[in-house]
Every structure is written in structure tokens, then in C-alpha cells.
């Protein structure tokens, strides 16, 4: 029986944070132990930990009402009595000295109260600036008398399998903790959202690590720890982080306006199967939603989409990302093959509906 992915931890979630290096970046200090050379992460941890925070959340949860009470005078009484406060914990990191903090949506999304504990023990109430369910990201803000220590974004696209990473977070509410590992794989799809493209690492991640940073060897955030693969709910050697190249534009959009607007065509597509060992280009339109931007522009079932604005489309995943990156209202050039002939169709992109964030089929 396959082990299910576990995105829930102590309270609201578990994630791992890692710091990895790349060929162009200085690695951690190396200490000699006899004939072996072992990396030393002490300087790196000392530099980045002041910007890592613990997050405590309070949310309300109501028990399920028996069907026989619905619509009766006892319904309201039941709701009042069954409402209870639920405590949870997670992690985050400061990206701006003014007090902006990144975490996961599943840590703070349903919270009625959020308190952030800084590295020096100071506790500050936080307000949620915005969340993005599609990428499981959240942006918080705390008010402080002075500038807060912050960590910079790094470039996740240069990370290589085998690079060192350092994860920081608040496992089991123990307080800020670091673990070290390597990048185990890239581009992982784990079925949690339409923009799955996770960095897999073997840095130890446990309940409470959710929302914490994944650092490279230069002390830059190259991922946000979001999920683990575990048969028990605790660390089993595999954790997943949202790459900074996906997270950063989402967080910047939340800073600007508290929301993320993504482009949408209104088509369902399927990848083309390879024939005779040869890779086939493009994705096939399997359905066009009535009244959608695609329908108004004249896209049809059976069209093969080759490119968006000249950018090659090889899979349904690349299509949704290309379209989502376009601001609603803008027009894109969709290159399709129809009845054996290439055509370029202009489509005015719409706003991606919330329900489309649950899967990758509606683009």
C-alpha cells in the first residue's frame, strides 16, 4: 500500500527547510577529520537563524452537526457549544526588515489569531496580508520598533541534485532547529496543486517545520518547506520545498495587493503520448468551457497547442504555467495545429477561477 503524502503536522502542518549550494556559490566551511572532509554549517546557521520565526496560530473549529438537528431550534445551540479553539504551530522567515514574513497557507489560512516568535524570544501579533492556495503560500506582517533581520531570496533554478541544503523551522514546537541534507531531486509533482514543481531533499523535516526556509550554502532562500512523504506523519527521509522561483513572484504579488491574479483560457488538455519512441510536441485540447476566453477566441476540441506567445508548450504543466503568468486582460498568441496546418490565434486571457487551483486540467 503506497504511503500517502502528509501535509499536516503538529497543529497545522509540517515542512522541511534546506540550504543548498551550487557550483557558483561558496560552500560551507570544511573541517578535516582524519582523512575525511566534513562540511561545517555553524557560520551559515548563525547568519540566517535570526530571520527564522516560530508561528503559533489559533483557529476555530466546529463539530459536525447531526442531520436530525438541522433546521431545528437546537441547531444554533449545537453550533455554539461545538465551536472550539484549535491551536497549531508552524514556521516562517522574514524577507523584509519592515516585518514581512513568509509561511505556508496551510499554516495560517484559517487562523483567527497569529503570533510570531522572533529568534530573541519576542512575541508579536501578526496579520495576514494575503494567501495563495494554489502554491500554499502566505504573507504575514508584524509591527516592530526597529528593523528586523531578514534573509534574501536565492535562485532555485541553479540548484543541482547533490547540492547541500540547510532547513530551519520549529519542529514539534521545540523552537528554531536546523537540519542539513542535499537536494535529492527536482521538479517533483506530488498532486497537491496545479503548480507542483517541488525540490525534494533529505534534510529532516517534522511537524511544525511547515513554512520554514530552505537555504543554499550562501544563506539564500531557495525553497519553502511544504510537505513530506511519510507512512507515520514524522520524518522518513523525503521532504518537499516550493522553489523560490515560484514563491518569490507570488509573495511579491501579495505584497503589492494582497492577492495573486493568474491568467486563464478555459480549456482542458491532455498530453500527447509518444509514438514509436519519438516525443510529440504540444498538448491536445480535450474540452473548451462555454463562454471562456478560449471559446470566444475560437479554440476547438482537437486543436494541438504548440506555443504561447512563442514559448514552446510540451506538457499540460507548461501550458498552465505559461498562461498563469499572463495578467488577466492581456492578449496572448496561441499557436495551434488544426487539421494539419499551423495557426496563430489571439486570445484575451481571463482571470483564473479559484476552483481551477485544485487541479491542472482547466487552464
3-state secondary structure 309-335: CCEECCCHHHHHHHHHCCCCCCEEEEE
Q: Which pLDDT score, from 0 to 100, does residue 35 have?
A: 44
- What's the Rg (C-alpha) of the chain? 23
Please confirm, yes or no, whether 106 is among the known catalytic residues. yes
Measured CA to CA, the distance from residue 137 to residue 109 in angstroms comes to 9
Whose CA is closest to 136, among 268, 275, 5? 5
Measured CA to CA, the distance from residue 308 to residue 344 in angstroms comes to 9
pTM for this predicted structure: 0.78
Whose CA is closest to 6, among 212, 179, 185, 235? 235
In the set 18, 106, 184, 322, the catalytic residue is 106
In the set 91, 210, 239, 292, the catalytic residue is 210
Q: Which pLDDT score, from 0 to 100, does residue 355 have?
A: 57
> CA–CA distance from 9 to each of 4, 86, 106, 233 (Å)?
14, 13, 10, 7
In the set 136, 196, 202, 303, the catalytic residue is 136
Q: Which pLDDT score, from 0 to 100, does residue 60 have?
A: 73
Measured CA to CA, the distance from residue 185 to residue 172 in angstroms comes to 26
339, 301 contact by CB (below 8 A): no
Strands 137-142 and 198-201: unpaired
Measured CA to CA, the distance from residue 205 to residue 196 in angstroms comes to 19
Q: Which pLDDT score, from 0 to 100, does residue 338 have?
A: 92
263-358 architecture in CATH? Answer: Roll (2.30)
Q: Which pLDDT score, from 0 to 100, does residue 3 have?
A: 36
Q: Which residues of the chain have pLDDT under 70?
A: 1-38, 61-86, 273-280, 355-363
Q: Strand locations in 42-119, DSSP E? A: 52-61, 84-96, 100-103, 113-117
The domains of the chain are located at 1-260, 263-358
Q: In a 3-state reduction of DSSP, which class is residue 307?
A: strand
Please confirm, yes or no, whether 363 is among the known catalytic residues. no
Q: Which pLDDT score, from 0 to 100, does residue 43 have?
A: 95
Please confirm, yes or no, whether 136 is among the known catalytic residues. yes
Q: Which CATH number is 1-260 given?
A: 2.40.10.120
Amino acid at each position: 500500500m503506497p504511503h500517502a503524502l502528509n501535509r499536516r503536522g503538529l497543529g497545522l502542518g509540517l515542512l522541511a527547510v534546506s540550504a543548498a549550494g551550487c557550483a557558483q556559490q561558496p560552500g560551507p566551511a570544511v573541517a578535516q577529520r582524519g582523512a575525511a572532509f566534513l562540511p561545517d554549517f555553524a557560520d551559515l546557521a548563525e547568519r540566517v537563524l535570526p530571520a527564522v520565526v516560530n508561528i503559533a496560530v489559533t483557529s476555530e473549529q466546529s463539530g459536525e452537526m447531526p442531520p436530525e438537528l438541522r433546521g431545528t431550534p437546537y441547531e444554533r445551540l449545537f453550533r455554539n457549544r461545538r465551536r472550539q479553539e484549535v491551536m497549531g504551530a508552524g514556521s516562517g522567515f522574514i524577507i523584509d526588515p519592515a516585518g514581512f514574513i513568509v509561511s505556508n497557507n496551510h499554516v495560517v489560512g484559517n487562523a483567527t489569531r497569529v503570533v510570531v516568535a522572533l529568534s530573541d524570544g519576542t512575541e508579536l501579533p501578526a496579520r495576514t496580508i494575503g494567501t495563495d492556495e494554489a502554491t500554499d503560500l502566505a504573507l504575514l506582517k508584524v509591527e516592530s520598533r526597529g528593523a528586523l533581520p531578514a534573509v534574501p531570496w536565492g535562485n532555485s533554478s541553479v540548484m543541482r541534485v547533490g547540492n547541500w541544503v540547510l532547513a530551519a523551522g520549529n519542529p514539534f514546537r521545540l523552537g528554531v532547529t536546523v537540519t542539513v541534507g542535499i537536494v535529492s531531486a527536482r521538479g517533483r509533482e506530488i498532486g497537491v496543486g496545479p503548480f507542483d514543481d517541488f525540490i525534494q531533499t533529505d534534510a529532516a523535516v517534522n511537524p511544525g517545520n511547515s513554512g520554514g526556509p530552505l537555504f543554499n550554502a550562501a544563506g539564500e532562500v531557495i525553497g519553502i518547506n511544504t510537505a513530506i512523504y511519510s507512512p507515520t506523519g514524522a520524518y522518513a527521509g523525503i521532504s518537499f520545498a516550493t522553489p523560490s522561483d515560484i514563491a518569490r513572484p507570488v509573495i511579491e504579488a501579495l505584497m503589492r495587493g494582497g492577492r495573486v491574479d493568474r491568467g486563464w483560457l478555459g480549456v482542458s488538455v491532455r498530453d500527447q503520448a509518444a509514438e514509436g519512441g519519438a516525443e510529440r510536441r504540444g498538448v491536445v485540447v480535450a474540452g473548451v468551457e462555454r463562454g471562456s476566453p478560449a471559446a470566444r477566441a475560437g479554440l476547438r476540441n482537437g486543436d494541438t497547442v504548440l506555443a504561447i506567445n512563442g514559448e514552446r508548450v510540451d506538457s499540460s504543466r507548461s501550458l498552465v504555467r505559461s498562461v498563469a503568468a499572463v495578467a488577466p486582460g492581456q492578449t496572448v498568441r496561441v499557436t495551434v495545429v488544426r487539421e494539419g496546418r499551423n495557426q496563430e490565434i489571439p486570445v484575451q486571457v481571463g482571470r483564473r477561477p479559484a476552483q481551477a487551483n485544485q487541479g491542472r486540467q482547466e487552464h
